[in-house]
Each structure stands twice: as C-alpha cells, then as structure tokens.
Amino acid sequence: VLSFIIFLCYIASLAASFMTAPLLEFLLALFVLLAYTFKLNEKFKRLHWLLKDFLRCVTAAIIYFAISIAAVSKYSDGASKAAGVFGFVATIVYAIDFYLIFNDLMTFLKQGSSDAPEEHKSE
C-alpha cells in the first residue's frame, strides 16, 4: 500500500521520472503476497523464497532511500516532498522487514547446517 501511495505521489509531482521504482516494488510485493496466498512457496520448494524476499527488501530499502533523498533535495513541489517523506517511511519499513527476514533466514540456515553432520554420521 505504501509503495502504491508513493507511486501516486510521484505521478502528481514534478519528479515523475522516479515513479518506476515504486511501481515495480508494488508489483513485486503483490506477486509475493499472491505467491504466499496460493501457497506457491510450498509447491516450488527448490526456489528459496525466503532469500528472494530478503533480497527484495534490501534492494527496496536502498532504492527508496536514494530516490527519496533526490526527490526531497531536488524538487520543491508538495507532491515530491510527500513522496520523499513516504519514501523515507518505506525505507524504515523495508529495513525492519529485511531484519526480521534475516533472522528467519539465519534460523533456517542453522537448522540446515546442523542436519548435515547427522546425515554424514549415518552413512
């Protein structure tokens, strides 16, 4: 929802060239939401869904931070300033999200590494 609001703000502003990043992030978030809703993560177990979601959050936080700085510093209209402020909020939200996903990812990797020695012992 936040990405869609930022997208709308960039459309209404002078910084319309920045509208691509929020639109793509909105579509990616929608895809991930639908994938988890339709349980595609259980059907396609070879794809590392947790890692893909982590990388999406990291890149989104970096991109939102960069375009928010550019929008706030370069453009003076209200819609650009609003998009920049919402972009900073989105940066914080994505940073919290990738921190939480990172903790889940480390738990998953520790479980995987602890299972591997037991398999070698049984052979």
Q: Is residue 48 part of a domain?
A: no
End-to-end C-alpha distance for the chain, whole angstroms: 51
Tokens of 123: 């052979």
For the stretch 42-94, pLDDT in tens is 887 777 778 888 888 999 999 999 999 999 999 889 999 999 999 999 999 99
Q: Is residue 94 assigned to a domain?
A: yes
Residue 99 lies in a domain: yes
Gap between the Cα atoms of 77 and 62, Å rounded? 23
> What's the count of helices (H) and strands (E) in the chain, helices before strands?
5, 0
Asked if the structure places residue 117 within a domain, the reply is no
pLDDT, one tens digit per residue, over 105-121 is 888 888 875 544 444 44
Domain that holds residue 80: 65-111
Residue 60: how many other CB atoms lie within 10 Å: 24
> Residue 122 above 50 pLDDT?
no
Band of residue 13 on the pLDDT scale cut at 50, 70, 90: confident
Residue 84 lies in a domain: yes
CA angle 41/102/53 to nearest 5° reads: 35
Q: What pLDDT score was predicted for residue 96?
A: 95
2 in any annotated domain? no
Q: Check residue 67 and report its DSSP letter.
A: H
Give the global pTM: 0.77
Our count of domains for the chain comes to: 1
